[in-house]
Every structure is written in C-alpha cells, then in structure tokens.
Structure 1
C-alpha cells in the first residue's frame, strides 16, 4: 500500500475536516482554541497558520510511514484519523449549535 492510499481517511478527517471546521469556528467567534500552544500561534500568526502546521504534520507522518513497523504505522494512522473525526464532529457541533 502507498502512503497516499494509507492516509486518505486521515487526510479527509484530520487535515481537511479539522482544519476547515476549526478555522471557520474561530473566525466566526463561536469558540476559542483550548490548546494553549495553538492559541498562542493563532494569536501571533492568525488562524491560517493551522495550514502549514497540518502540512508539517503530514511530513512527520510520512517519516513514521517509512520507518515504523507496519503494526505501529496502522495504530498511528488509525489513531490520528479517530482524533480527526472527534475534532471535526466537535467543531461542527459548536458551529451548528453555538
């Protein structure tokens, strides 16, 4: 299996879903960023700074893909996909339910 095929769900949920819903919710003022590190980055560089952060994370994931045992790679990609799903659902709930 290739890296791009392995990360398609992760990309959809963690990269696109979480990024778009976070930027939208922060932009509309419906919620605040609870992670103090990201909050400081957003205050200094704006919400769109999340895009290069997520892109950098993909580079880190590629490193894990190339160097980790297949078992650990599967745990990593499925865990990150689940985190992306939870973040996207939570962000969407905030957007639609205020």
Structure 2
C-alpha cells in the first residue's frame, strides 16, 4: 500500500474533519482550544496557522511511514485517525449545539 492509500482516513478525519470543525466551533464563541500549546499559538498567529501545522504534521507522519516497521506505522496511523474522529465529533457537538 502507498502512503496516500494508508492515510486516507487520517486525511478525512484528522486533517479535513478536525480543521474545518475547529474553525466552525471557534467561530461560535462558545468553544475554546483545549490544547494549551495550540491555544497559545492561536492567540499569537490566529486560527489559520492550523493549516500549516497540519501540513507539517503530514511530513512527520510520512517520516514515520518511511522509517518505522509496519506494526508501529499501523499503530500510529490508527491512533491519529482515532484522535481525528474524536476531535471532529467533539467539535461537531459544539457547532450543532452552539
């Protein structure tokens, strides 16, 4: 399998889903970024800095793909997908209830 094939769920949930729902949730004014590091970065550079951060994370993920054995790669990609799913669902709850 290729890198792109392997990360389709990551792209859908962690990159696109989390990014879009984070932007929407932050626009409601009823939501704040719970990650203190990201919250600090957002306060300095604004929310759009999330896009280059996600792109940078994809480079890091590609490094893991190329250098880790298949077992650790699978743990990594499934964990990131799970985080993306949780973040997207959490953000959607704020957007729909806000």
Interval of TM-score (by shorter of Structure 1 and Structure 2): over 0.9
d(CA) in 1 for partners of 2:30 and 2:54?
A: 22
Q: Which residue of 1 aligns with 2:56?
A: 56
The TM-score with structure 2 as length reference comes to 0.97
> Which consecutive unaligned segments of at least 5 residues does structure 1 have?
none
SS of the aligned residue for 1:65 comes to helix
> Which consecutive unaligned segments of at least 5 residues does structure 2 have?
none
Displaced runs of 4 or more, over 3 A:
none
Note the alpha carbon deviations across 1:11-69, whole angstroms, 9 max, x for none: 00000000000011112312011111101110100000000000000000000000000
Q: Which residue of 1 aligns with 2:97?
A: 97
The TM-score with structure 1 as length reference comes to 0.97
d(CA) in 2 for partners of 1:11 and 1:41?
A: 22
Q: CA RMSD in A?
A: 0.7
Q: Which residue of 2 aligns with 1:77?
A: 77
Q: Which residue of 1 aligns with 2:46?
A: 46
